[in-house]
A and B are shown apart, each in its own frame.
Chain A
């Protein structure tokens, strides 16, 4: 049974890495990028980035990475530091070495024990979220109208 579990976990690891094997852009640890970095396809960052980062594909932020930028990506796997807001269309995974200072929007999130997250997290694309927003707004308006009647 143990062998089977090990084999399963090995194959799982391969699956998670396959997206990044086909990375079209790699910013290594010994490279500093400044400006609006827009990529198409998968992106791996291990270096220093200042400005903004956006990609249509997946983003992997390595342990040595230091990003001071707003980040947009399809899915993201973060092990390094990010100072800036993040908008992720799909899934966001923060590993135990991840440090994020900024607001995050994502469809789903997975935070490992030890990760640092300082900011507001908004879960996008959920039906309940939209309904609560729609119902809350008219109530607030009613209260204001009642108050206005009392004052008059």
Chain B
């Protein structure tokens, strides 16, 4: 049987989510668009998403990476809930990255929770895209082993 897999047929899928009540979606939309231009399939959830909704979307879409944007300061609370939900749904293998107005001391706490990367305002798009791609590649290759 021929091997029919290639990433053009199955591009990396990224959820770009705005958790919580914060309405500042400029960054999330710019990143969503940049990822699309870089060949990703992007599911943008819109604003005012609960951790449940985001986890559910990631599971249904079988996403390779989840990107969360929060500029309301409620990142610790919401991301913790998201990671918990992902675990409940058996999706703890989906890497989570976070962007927003986040003090350095919170960056460390987020990483301890399992967040793979935290992006502060001003981060270069190229860096973000490269990292997301690397995380997606890693997730798929470990996934193949089951």
A, B bound: no
A binding-site residues for B, Cβ under 8 Å: none
